[in-house]
Amino acid sequence: MTAPQVYTIETVASVTGGICYGNENLVVKNLSIDSRSLQLPEETLFFALVGERHDGHSYIVDLYQKGVRAFVVSNLEMIDFTIFPDVAFVLVADTLCALQDLAQNRRKSFEYPVFGITGSNGKTIVKEWLYQLLNESYSIVRSPKSYNSQVGVPLSVWNMDEEASLAIFEAGISRVDEMESLSKIIQPTVGIFTHLGDAHRENFKDDLQKLEEKIKLFLFCNSIMYCADEELVDKALKLRFAESKELICWSRNQEANLRIVSEEIKGNCTIISAEYKEETKEICLFFTDKASIDNAITCWLCLLNLNVDDDSIKERFLKLEPVAMRLEIKEGIGDCTLINDYYNSDLGSLAIALDLMNQQQNDKRKTLILSDIFQSGYTNYQLYKAISKLLEQKKITRLIGIGEDISSQAKLFKCNASFYRSTEVFLADLNRNQFDNEIILIKGARNFHFERISNALQYKAHQTVLEVNLSAMVHNLNYFRSLLQPATKLIVMVKAFSYGSGSTEIANLLQYHRVDYLAVAIADEGVELRDAGITIPIIVMNPESHSFDTMIEYHLEPEIYNQTICLEFEKALKRNGVRNYPIHIKLDTGMNRLGFVHQGLDSLLAMIVNNEHFFISSVFSHLAGADEQIHNDFTKQQITTFTKWSDQILAQFSYHIDRHILNSAGIERFPQAQFDMVRLGIGLYGISSVHQEKLMNVSSLKTTISQIKEVSKENTVGYGRKGQLQTDTRIGVIPIGYADGFNRKLSNGLGTVLVNGQTAPVIGNICMDMSMIDLTNIDAVEGDSVLIFGDDYPVSKLAAQLDTIPYEILTTISRRVKRVYFQG
């Protein structure tokens, strides 16, 4: 069967086995599963996906108001047909299966080669590098970013069209029985296995089971490419596919189609020699780390198999650039926020970047710097008309278009717009004073070299940065949500500058992902969030009476922990003429910090019952030792006490009052005590005392080597001459000190940092702005990156060196350290 190029609602119903209601002749071109991410809504088919904690049906009214007229649903009970007179619905049993069936049908229309990539690590890198290396020869459709899931794969495959001549898709799984459906959707003609690593290991019996599940992607392949040096991978592929498919491999250690002979690192280059079909081949890369070299060799094998000539291969690898795995958010000039995404340029990734832009401060103007978009499959008029509608929908204030094609369609754009023929022309005309208090998205095809624009607009500051991975934070948020009952609400702690991660950026992200409450320590933190456009409820956990008027003005909800603070807040409400204001009552069940004890409950209730000025929004308590098994009996006693006391309070009121006692550790260890709400704190930021393997690292503190010098053993290093040398030593100076949050107690060898994969001890006393490290046995040059803590060097290790907890490390990172936010 040949799938149609034009899909009507009637066709969608036929393909998915659904029942059509409404206008069956309505034509759809785009698919969506997220009410917050729409492109051209009038041409969009929305799939109302249902999960443990979300139901897409609840957003249909909102989507209708935004212009969507076509929906795939599994529940008609939530739909009032009287308010949707011009809408088409397709009723199916399972909306996710319907999405996958539709994409699988779309795939049948095309006979050009399709690369299917899987593995534990390197999928997105290999995909993007193959795109760079092959886009001179092919018109390529590929997965946007890392769209490799049960939802991401069908959305990616839907983008296949007749204009393309090659497709490259990645497929990732985290559980058993997920890959077969992805294999049927992608139906790759060529399979690529990157690497078998540790990712998602916890959901499989062992590495062999995980591997066997992953290689199910290759059921439809004619050939499979991989590295034979991974013995488990080599054996599994040969056992499963040796008789049915062509296995094409590379190796450093054994005979292979591409046999690596030598790898020589010279400065920032790696020269690789190999034998292929009894001929010597060579490429040069501007990368030196093993992961990049391995991924590049996999790409090299692909190009050789496609018969790309050697000279062209050499030239293309010399142009190979780092993959923009992430959208970086940086501080710009003139109080601007920069979002860098200057290595990807297509309509799909533009929509993703605009969504990230709209997660930021709502009060700032939004400027888009956009280059020509190539190989879109549309005429220039169609493409830029669609982009104009998208910018209008996303409320973009200003467009700066760069390139011949976008400039030729200037009349299509309704917002404030200016156009330049090239990046050089724009930079020559750049007036930095034209950018003030705005969010600037820099989005362009790589040959426009928009990194030069980013450099021109970036605020030049300290080379020490704290990188915050927003995608990791969302992963952690979703992990904790998966542990909650559907009705359980979620409060997220953003006090103390969001545990050092930054305030408004994190709050915007959490608001976008629809958490129920935010919690701050003091009123000033809440005011900052309100000024940044945060509208969801905010609890102040440590309110002070002098700030009550401000709290009422900004509608911040106080924790009430004793009678004195309750009376003071009542006075403030009377003074401001406010009635029916929410408050949160804290009970002390054993922490012996703030909170009412049992003897004070009667007088508290007497104050609040029938009080016209405030009402109890929630009653809560704080667990003292939920993260340690040794305190289990005490924690259970606290929960029992809280239940008894809160029952007494709830019995006095006719309205509903929420209850909450669980913190991050409590969510994982005491699920029976979820009550109405839970409070997520350190777990969001990647720290767990229970299941650390299920969380992703969020924050990475990085700096660089400013200077390297040889110091003879007769000399000392640092203040007080505390750095006593035993041998001639190679010293590295790094621009981070105790004023940045690098604790002075780490001096003189107690602390270590990571340089090019090796630990380097601190030498001498840590200074206010600088520290010295021992590089004697480490191959490093000035300008190399230094990791204080991060993915490869957990913050818990630094905390152990200081005999403290990760909380202290994260919250003491100075605000002068620039925060760089990214999705990746």
DSSP line for 35-94: TT--SSGGGEEEE--B-SS-BGGGGHHHHHHTT--EEEES-GGG--GGG-TT-EEEE-S-
Q: Which comes out higher in pLDDT, residue 463 or 397?
A: 397
Question: C-alpha angle with apex 450: 446 to 451, nearest 5 degrees?
Answer: 105
Question: C-alpha angle with apex 643: 642 to 644, nearest 5 degrees?
Answer: 90
Q: How far is CA 481 from the centre of its chain?
A: 16
d(C-alpha 505, C-alpha 510), whole Å: 9
pLDDT of amino acid 623: 96
Q: Of all residues in the chain, what percent carry a pLDDT higher than 70?
A: 95
Mean pLDDT in residue range 732-742: 94
pLDDT of amino acid 2: 41
Q: Measured between alpha carbons, how far is residue 740 from residues 462, 720, 768, 787 in Å?
A: 10, 21, 8, 14
Tokens representing 555? 């509608």
Tally of CB atoms within 10 A around 706:
15
Strand residues in 163-312 grouped as ranges (E)? 166-170, 190-193, 223-227, 246-251, 258-266, 269-276, 279-285
Q: Which residues lie closer than 8 Å to 602 by C-beta, 6 or more apart?
A: none
pLDDT of amino acid 171: 93
- For residue 596, the 8-state DSSP code is B
Q: Measured between alpha carbons, how far is residue 281 from residues 255, 295, 553 in Å?
A: 15, 17, 71
- Residue 172 near residue 203 (C-beta atoms within 8 A): no
Domain edges within the chain: 7-99, 110-318, 327-458, 467-694, 699-823
Tokens representing 572? 């403030």
Tally of CB atoms within 10 A around 356:
21
In this structure, which CATH number among 3.30.70.1380, 3.90.1150.10, 1.10.3720.10, 3.90.190.20 belongs to the domain 327-458? Answer: 3.90.190.20
Q: Is the pLDDT of residue 377 over 90?
A: no
d(C-alpha 709, C-alpha 763), whole Å: 13
Tokens representing 485? 């009952």
CATH architecture of 7-99: 3-Layer(aba) Sandwich (3.40)
Q: Known catalytic residues?
A: 495, 719
Q: Is the pLDDT of residue 199 over 60?
A: no
pLDDT of amino acid 462: 62
Q: Is the pLDDT of residue 531 over 90?
A: no
Q: Is the pLDDT of residue 758 over 60?
A: yes
Mean pLDDT in residue range 571-588: 94
Fold exhibited by the domain 467-694: TIM Barrel (3.20.20)
Q: Which residues lie closer than 8 Å to 401 by C-beta, 6 or more apart?
A: 370, 371, 407, 410, 413, 417, 418, 419, 420
Tokens 């997520």 found at:
680
Q: Is the pLDDT of residue 3 over 60?
A: no
Amino acid identity, position 577: G
- Residue 21 near residue 89 (C-beta atoms within 8 A): yes
Burial of residue 664 (number of CB atoms within 10 Å: 0-12, 13-18, 19+): buried
Q: Is the pLDDT of residue 331 over 90?
A: no
Q: Which comes out higher in pLDDT, residue 229 or 445?
A: 229
What is residue 600's three-state secondary structure? helix
**Checking DSSP bridges between strand 166-170 and strand 140-142, what pairing results, if any?**
parallel
Query: In terms of Cα–Cα distance, which of 191, 192, 181, 186 is closest to 150?
Result: 181
Question: pLDDT tens-digit profile of 775-785?
Answer: 999 999 988 89
Is 768 among the annotated ligand-binding positions?
Answer: yes
Question: pLDDT tens-digit profile of 32-45?
Answer: 998 776 767 888 99
Q: Is the pLDDT of residue 556 over 80?
A: yes
Instruction: Kindly report the CATH number that applies to the domain delimited by 110-318.
Output: 3.40.1190.10
Tokens representing 212? 């066997």
d(C-alpha 538, C-alpha 69), whole Å: 35
What is residue 340's three-state secondary structure? strand
Q: Of all residues in the chain, what percent carry a pLDDT higher than 90?
A: 65
Tokens 């991410």 found at:
37
pLDDT of amino acid 366: 93
Q: Is the pLDDT of residue 456 over 90?
A: no
**Mean pLDDT of the residues in the chain:** 90
d(C-alpha 466, C-alpha 357), whole Å: 20
Q: Is the alpha carbon torsion for 224, 265, 774, 820 positive or negative?
A: negative
Q: Is the pLDDT of residue 484 over 90?
A: yes
- Residue 733 near residue 495 (C-beta atoms within 8 A): no
Mean pLDDT in residue range 484-502: 90
Q: Which residues lie closer than 8 Å to 25 by C-beta, 6 or more apart?
A: 8, 9, 10
Mean pLDDT in residue range 336-345: 78
Q: Which comes out higher in pLDDT, residue 687 or 462?
A: 687
Mean pLDDT in residue range 534-555: 94
- The lowest-confidence range among 517-531, 594-608, 723-737, 764-778 is 594-608
Question: pLDDT tens-digit profile of 90-143?
Answer: 999 999 999 999 999 999 999 999 999 999 888 988 999 999 999 889 999 998
Q: Calculate the CA dihedral of residues 552, 558, 561, 564 and round it to 10 degrees.
A: -10
Confidence tier at 524 by pLDDT (50, 70, 90) = very high
pLDDT of amino acid 344: 62
The pTM is what?
0.69
pLDDT of amino acid 66: 85
Confidence tier at 1 by pLDDT (50, 70, 90) = very low
Confidence tier at 202 by pLDDT (50, 70, 90) = low
Question: pLDDT tens-digit profile of 387-440?
Answer: 999 899 888 999 999 999 999 999 999 899 999 999 999 999 998 888 988 999
DSSP line for 750-780: T-EEEETTEEEEEES---SS-EEEE-TTS--
Q: Is the pLDDT of residue 263 over 80?
A: yes
d(C-alpha 351, C-alpha 349), whole Å: 5
Fold exhibited by the domain 699-823: Lyase, Ornithine Decarboxylase; Chain A, domain 1 (2.40.37)
Q: Is the pLDDT of residue 145 over 70?
A: no
Is 541 among the annotated ligand-binding positions?
Answer: no
Mean pLDDT in residue range 460-464: 70
Tokens 């990746």 found at:
824
pLDDT of amino acid 6: 83
d(C-alpha 529, C-alpha 558), whole Å: 15
pLDDT of amino acid 190: 97
Confidence tier at 458 by pLDDT (50, 70, 90) = confident
